[in-house]
Amino acid sequence: PKPLLRALRLASPGHVIARTTLKRSRLRRGLTMLLQAYGVVPENAEQATADRMLERFGQLDAHAWARTLEALAEHDASPVLGSITTRTLVIAGDSDPFTPLSQAQQMARNLRHSETMIVRGGGHYLPVDFPDLLNLRIERFFHDVGIC
């Protein structure tokens, strides 16, 4: 989306607005809110965490990142999912703007031996937002499949 690309360009390190925005808390908060609306920054991120993410996103090439997002949107692994015979754990948030729940559920249906964990209120940053919950579930999965 164009507003997202504009926000990323504004956050790029060489941009004069980036230097000003990241120094002014009100402007920084506005940029954070815009990126949260697009799921780039977790909604419940503390401002210090969001600031670190903004600095890292500011180091990205916005055009390259946009091309990557476009390629990801066109990517479809569904033709090979049925050939995967390994037990698989599909973890999804029900509020993920990048990977909608319906896609995760379809992926799980296409895998022969899959289990699904859906995190209510979870977005794209499940490991950041729900680290303990994910760690427990992954540990249990590993135990169930005999990895540990």
Contact predicate 94/117, CB 8 Å: no
Read off the DSSP letter of residue 118: E
| pLDDT of amino acid 45 | 72
Q: Does residue 44 register a pLDDT over 90?
A: no
C-alpha–C-alpha distance, residues 130 and 138, integer Å? 12
Pairing status of strand 114-119 against strand 88-93: parallel
Q: How confident is the model at residue 98 (pLDDT cuts 50, 70, 90)?
A: confident
Residue 114's beta-bridge partner residues? 88
Which residue bears the tokens 């319906």? 102
Q: Is the pLDDT of residue 144 over 60?
A: yes
Given a cut of 60, whether residue 122 has pLDDT beyond it is yes
Going by pLDDT thresholds of 50, 70 and 90, the confidence category of residue 86 is very high
What's the confidence (pLDDT) of residue 96? 86
- Which pLDDT score is estimated for 18? 52
Task: Return the structure tokens found at 135.
Answer: 């760690």
pLDDT given at position 101: 92
pLDDT at site 23:
56
pTM over 0.75: no
